[in-house]
Amino acid sequence: MIKTVPYLAEAAIEKDAESLLSEFSDARDVVIEAPIPIEEIIEKYLKIGIEFDDLDSRFGVEKFFDTGDPDILGAMYFDKKRIAISEHLVPEENPNMEGRYRFTLAHEGGGHWRLHRHLLERDAGQWSLFGREAAPSVICRSNQRKARVEWQADYYASCLLMPQNLVRAAWAEAFPDRKPRVLAPEKSVDHSLVE
């Protein structure tokens, strides 16, 4: 089920991501620089636990038939302050997935936790009444990327991992003359709309 959340302006999302970085910087007395220490922000500052699991099997979902990739990349348990990440993203076992892992952490622990917790939290006592483990508050599936709740969490993650001030500083360092650039792709693009 796709969760419905109210519209949030991009500027408001970016401002909250900047606030989280500032809060973390003040609390830990560190200077924020790339790469953003997302695990430390999630685990030590927000005090949200991180676990790995085969989420597709746990929630009875088939992997994508064409690629075999997992459909569920992460899940957020607001009541338990816990993020479950697909075991396919374990950075030590799959170093080529580290970027996806870091983005998923920022998406769940930044985006959903900061933007949506107050809207989507459930009463944890409800589940324990029936002796069942609480279901996740949010399950992030690859096929829900266009849902507003997922788009907002994605945008939050991008603002958190690539703060505008650090991106601008890196650009200014790489191109001190400040002239506009069009970067050529490594592979040519064969498309009718591309010259």
Digit-by-digit pLDDT tens for the chain (195 residues) are 456 888 999 999 999 999 999 999 999 999 999 999 999 999 999 999 999 998 888 887 765 555 566 678 899 999 899 999 999 999 999 999 999 999 999 999 999 999 999 887 754 445 455 555 667 777 776 666 678 888 999 999 999 999 999 999 998 998 899 888 877 777 777 766 665
User: Using an 8 Å Cβ cutoff, are 16 and 156 in contact?
Assistant: yes
The pTM of the whole model exceeds 0.75: yes
The angle formed by the CA atoms of residues 160, 166 and 171, to the nearest 5 degrees, is 130
* Spatial distance between the Cα atoms of 195 and 190, rounded to a whole number of angstroms: 9
User: Using an 8 Å Cβ cutoff, are 70 and 56 in contact?
Assistant: yes
